[in-house]
Amino acid sequence: MRNSPFFHFLTLEFFKERKKHIGVIAISLVILFLLSSVLFISSSIRYSLEQTLEQEPDFVVQRTQGGERVSVPIEWTDGLLEIHGISSVTPRVYGRYFFKSKEDSFLVVGVDFMDEQSHKALRTIMDETDLKQFLKGENMLVGEGVSRYLKAHFYPKGYTFLTPKGAFKKVHLFKVLPKESNLIANDMIIVPIELAQEILGMSEEEVSDIAFNVPNDDEWENVEDKISSFHYDLRVVTKNDIKKAYENLYNYKGGIFLILFLITMVTFVLILYQRYSMVYSSERRHIGLLRALGWSINDVLKLKFFETMMVVVMAYVLGVALAYFYVFVLGAPLLREIFLGGVNLHNSITLVPILDFGILSSIFLIYAVPFVSAVLIPVWKIAVTDPKEAML
Amino acid sequence: MIDDVMIIIENLNKHFRSGDALSKVLKDINLEIRAGECIVLKGVSGSGKTTLLSIMAGLDRPSSGKVLVEGESISKLPDLHISHFRAQKIGMIFQHFNLFDHLTAAENVMIPLIPAGLSMDEVNQKVQKSLKLANISHKTQSTAGRLSGGEKQRVAIARALVSDPAIILCDEPTANLDRDNSLKFIDILGQLHDMGKTIVVATHDPLFDSLPFVSRIIPMEDGSLVSTVPNDTLAES
Amino acid sequence: MNEILLNNQVIVYLLSESILFGLLFIAFVITVGILVGWDFGSYSEQQFRLERRAYLVMTILLFVFTVKFLLLAYFVFAIDSLSLLVPGAMCAAGVISANDYGMLLLFLKLVILFFLLLWMALNRYDLNAKNYPLFRIKSWLFIAIFLVIAIETGIDFAYFGHIDTLEPVNCCSTLYGQLEGANPLPFGLNTMTLLILFYLLYVVVMGAALSSQRILFVAAALLFVFIAYYSVVYFFGTYIYELPTHNCPFCMLQKEYYYVGYLVWGTLFTGTYLGLISSVMEMGLKVEQGRERSVALILLSIFVLLCTAYVAVYYLRNGVFL
């Protein structure tokens, strides 16, 4: 290195002040670790959600009456089929089924197994299922959360639903859905449409909504306009709307968290300022001596600046690395509940490792900028130490 | 040889203000030191000799008056320049050695060279040369804190010499040394004089009273120079 | 509006800008003190105090410059990721034009960076002189910079606070596209003449620099930046996107294009800034700035090479031009 005597001395200096530095690094580590973990978890879930959302149909047509959602008459499908540019029109039947305890509920999803699926994930699931066997009897596909619940409540082979009409319907458990679909399918029960209608108390002409795709992005606005004019009580929800809603939710949650975090940072900064300002007379003599021996203020500033950066970079790298390990290798044992909380059943999704430049730079900026700002003035104060101090 | 004037001090005054009280530490000092000369400022503590030395070294600034070194005024130089001046032209030896105890002798000696941006090899070369000159190269890797008083002083000398400065300033260099080490120190000082360096020693140690290479002994009392007493034992050159 | 201000990156950005402003305010107060009380010839304690305080201003400015430089890239990055929240925006272009403050903000940032760099160059000269000859110029320049940054910080908040997440904005194809046959290029140039001017000016800039024709250099460099902007947006950019109708200065900053936008705009502006400042220093202060000039020339050359390379690679791969 061009200036290796300088860096040699820098290392010696750093080592000499190591007690002070290690204290600061330790606190920084805690802060950075928490911050990074939260950001990693949230962005990983967001990413998984985005992936899942990609597979949602582009458009969903619903019916509202008096502000409430009601079932959609199946004739509406005909009107949709006539519009150009629309593909895979799928009437869907789904609803919440509450178990005896009234606390746990599952999402019952009815699927027309004969038809083209607008939901790509369902398509994959169906491709893997032996449909002939499945359709022979009253069977259901369940998500992991459901299967666990059923097992826990001693329903290993199937379940007898109590329909709103008062009848009982026995359904066999055919297969458990794969782990990868857990984000959406954890508490899902998939049955043929007619069965779903029965369980949920809907007639054969009723569906919950109608989904379809519009492959050409530019047509979306057109299609939305056209369809909205079909019926007065028709409501269109686009995939973009959902995306935006989720984005807003994450932004909101993330923003609140960040603001809380800032309060911690303020405390941290104050501690830093105080710590670095506490210059013992020995350090003043120390710097005074350097100055007496020919070090200019610039030289001392350079030394102190590099010392600070070493602390910052060390804490940053360690903090982020530890967080990465905690979140993506250990699966973030305690923190994940904050984000996955609010989901009905215990969800065991795997967090996909996301290393985003945006997150890394955000973490760095929110840590390094306040840090260096806090120590700027104390460092300057000590750098301008009068060399006379050495004579004392 | 002893021809041009190295240090010129004109009408130097230094006072400190504490509250309303004004304490005059240096009063109207006028002094000329020729290149290669070795002079002794003699006086008790409080006579102002340490302050005068600091001002000569550029460590402190006068309240009024001028200090010229090699023709250049140093009293109002900006920090960058005065630091450069100190690193290049001045070697200081302090009463309390002022070493970094946690560093080795070699590391202590290299400190004045660091701002210059030399390579590690060049620095090591100069450091070794200095340590040898000061007769302490056998303790290169020893931690300064573990050295004896005499050894510490020699490391301090090595440090003062490492950038080959033209001027050596010593503030009570033998105050913390026993007689034996003091004599050794004076020996080295003689060698430095032979090398052509300009030396100023501020001391009240009687050992400096009759040294062959000292051209003048200047008593200081209460911030003023009393008179210039030429050293009778110095042979005319 | 709420969603924007709660976005992670926006919070981090605004926080950083606020902290910088706080530091600059301290520097401002000190600078005013310096302007009022400075008397270099004096031996008074106050003068020495001012000289020491001047070092604090220097330190703050150096820090602010470094962070503002990073924040510019971060700002663009943040805006780009906001395009998900703003309807109609596909890239930063749409978000920047979401209200009137956007482009103004960007422009201010570029101006501020230039003047900060100039200040640092002046400061270096000043420190090396023996009597701080430039302290007055430096101080007034800093005060001017401070005022501009104060405005910029205000606009930061105004801009982000007024981004509507309900009103759709125009995306780059509307903003930069060649609609209805209207020519977006200045002086009524067409693409061919634009390119000729681009390379011609580059040669002039290099030539003027190497033969120390400073005034010519400054004029050519300024013109070059202007022409280069249009060249990148309306010609070279299309080769980056490999789409003849995609004219956008911001899309190339995205991941799909390997973030090459940062390199393209970075080399162009940094090179121009360094070149201009070194010329100003040489003309005004008679200081030799050979090294800075070389760096500037290298950066500009990298810029031109990069742009040309995209075209060349496309042609080599496809055998035709767009």
Strands A59-65 and A234-238: antiparallel
| pLDDT in the model for residue B230 | 60
Residues A249 and A298 in one domain: yes
Which residues of chain A make contact with C165, given a CB cutoff of 8 A? 244
- Burial degree of C25 (CB within 10 A; 0-12, 13-18, 19+): middle
Residues 6+ apart with CB under 8 A from C295: C271, C274
Helices marked H in chain C — which ranges? 2-5, 8-37, 45-82, 92-96, 101-128, 135-161, 172-176, 191-210, 214-231, 237-241, 260-285, 290-318
pLDDT at residue B3, rounded to an integer = 58
The two structure tokens encoding residue C278 = 């070194």
- pLDDT tens digit sequence for C12-69: 999 999 999 999 999 999 999 999 988 887 878 888 889 899 999 999 999 999 999 9
According to the model, what pLDDT value does residue A338 have? 65
Are β-strands B21-34 and B5-18 bridged in parallel, bridged antiparallel, or unpaired?
A: antiparallel
Nearest-5° Cα angle at B203, B201 to B208 = 75
CA nearest B14 in C: which residue? C43
The Cα of A353 is separated from the nearest Cα of chain B by a number of Å equal to 44
Neighbour-count burial of A314, counting CB atoms closer than 10 A to its CB (0-12 exposed, 13-18 middle, 19+ buried): middle
Whether the CB of C316 is below 8 Å from some CB of chain A: the reply is no
By the CB < 8 Å criterion, does C29 face chain A? no
Listed residues A209, A226, A258: the one ending a domain: A209
Q: Per residue in A370-392, pLDDT tens? A: 999 988 998 898 888 888 766 65
**Residues of chain B contacting A3 with CB distance shorter than 8 Å:** 117
Q: What is the pTM of this model?
A: 0.83
Residue A342 falls inside a structural domain:
yes
The set of chains that have 3 or more CB pairs under 8 A with B is A, C
Q: Which residues of B touch A (CB under 8 A)?
A: 50, 54, 57, 59-60, 79-80, 83-84, 86-88, 90, 92, 94, 98, 100, 102-103, 107, 110-115, 117-120, 123, 159, 163, 171
Give the distance from residue C119's alpha carbon to the nearest chain B alpha carbon, in angstroms.
Answer: 18
Residue C3, classed as helix, strand or coil, is helix
For helices A4-16 and A18-54, angle between their N-to-C axes, nearest 10 degrees? 100
Q: How much is the pLDDT for A88?
A: 76
CB contact under 8 A, C43 and B76: yes
Q: What pLDDT, on the 0 to 100 scale, is given for residue A345?
A: 46
Q: Which of A249, A365, A372 to mutate to test the interface with C (most CBs of C within 10 A)?
A: A365
What stretches of A85-233 show up as alpha helix (H) in DSSP?
120-128, 131-136, 144-152, 182-185, 193-200, 220-228
As to burial, measured by CB atoms within 10 angstroms (0-12 exposed, 13-18 middle, 19+ buried), residue B174 is buried
**How many CB atoms neighbour CB C64 within 10 A?**
23
* Residue A285 sits in the same domain as residue A154: no
Task: Judge whether residue A337 has pLDDT over 70.
Answer: no
Q: Tell me if chain B has a CB within 8 Å of the CB of C143.
A: no
CB atoms closer than 10 angstroms to residue C254: 19
Check residues A348 and C107 and name the one with the higher pLDDT: C107
Segments of chain B scoring below 50 in pLDDT: 1-2, 233-237
> Is C84 within 8 Å of A301 when comparing Cβ atoms?
no
- Cβ–Cβ < 8 Å for C72, C124: no
CB proximity list for B161: less than 8 A, separation 6 or greater: B91, B130, B133, B134, B168, B192
Residue A313: which H helix or E strand, with range?
helix A297-324
**To the nearest whole percent, how much of chain A has pLDDT over 70?**
86
**For the segment A130-160, what is each residue's pLDDT rounded down to a tens digit?**
777 777 778 888 888 888 888 888 877 888 8
Percent helix, strand and coil across chain B, each rounded to 5? 35, 30, 35
A16 in B contact zone (CB under 8 Å): yes
Contact A258 C11 (CB under 8 A): yes
In whole angstroms, what is the distance from residue B86 CA to residue B74 CA? Answer: 10
Report how far apart, in Å, the C-alpha atoms of A156 and of each of A102, A173, C260 are: 20, 8, 57
Kindly tell me the burial class for residue A118, based on how many C-beta atoms sit within 10 Å of its own C-beta (0-12, 13-18, 19 or more).
buried
Contact A88, A118 (CB under 8 A): yes
pLDDT of residue B234: 46
Q: Are residues A193 and A259 in the same domain?
A: no
Q: Are A105 and A344 in contact (CB under 8 A)?
A: yes
Alpha-carbon Rg for chain A in angstroms: 31
Q: Which residues contact B221 (CB under 8 A, 6 or more apart)?
A: B43, B47
Q: Domain limits at A302?
A: 4-52+245-391
Strand order in the sheet with B21-34: B21-34, B5-18, B64-69, B72-73
Top pLDDT among A332 and C106 is at C106
Q: Is the dihedral of CA C33, C36, C39, C42 positive or negative?
A: negative
Per the CB < 8 Å rule, is A296 touching B171?
Answer: no
Among B59, B94, B120, beta carbon nearest to A388: B59
pLDDT of residue A115: 63
DSSP C181-220: G---SGGG--HHHHHHHHHHHHHHHHHHHHTT-HHHHHHH
Nearest Cα residue to A364 out of C260, C266, C16, C68: C16
**Residue A116 scores a pLDDT above 60:** no
Question: Quick one: pLDDT band at residue A344, thresholds 50, 70, 90?
Answer: very low
Question: What's the pLDDT at C67?
Answer: 95
Cross-chain residue pair A365–C12, CB shorter than 8 Å: yes
Residue for token digits 């003849």?
C244
Q: Does B77 touch chain C (CB under 8 A)?
A: yes
Parse chain B into domains and list their residue ranges: 35-61+78-230
CATH among 3.30.2090.10, 3.40.1350.10, 3.40.50.300, 3.40.50.720 for B35-61+78-230: 3.40.50.300
CA distance C90 to C170: 9
**Structural contact between residues A171 and A38, judged by C-beta atoms closer than 8 angstroms:** no
The answer to whether C8 contacts chain A (CB < 8 Å) is yes
Is the domain of A257 the same as that of A375? Answer: yes
Task: Tell me, yes or no, whether A103 and A12 share the same domain.
Answer: no
Gap between the Cα atoms of C120 and C123, Å rounded: 5
* Confidence (pLDDT) at A118: 54
- Same-domain check for residues A195 and A281: no
How close does chain B come to C264, measured CA to CA in Å? 34
pLDDT band for position A212 (cuts 50, 70, 90) = confident
- Pick out chain C residues at pLDDT < 70: 1-2, 177-182
Q: Are residues A48 and A101 located together in one domain of the fold?
A: no
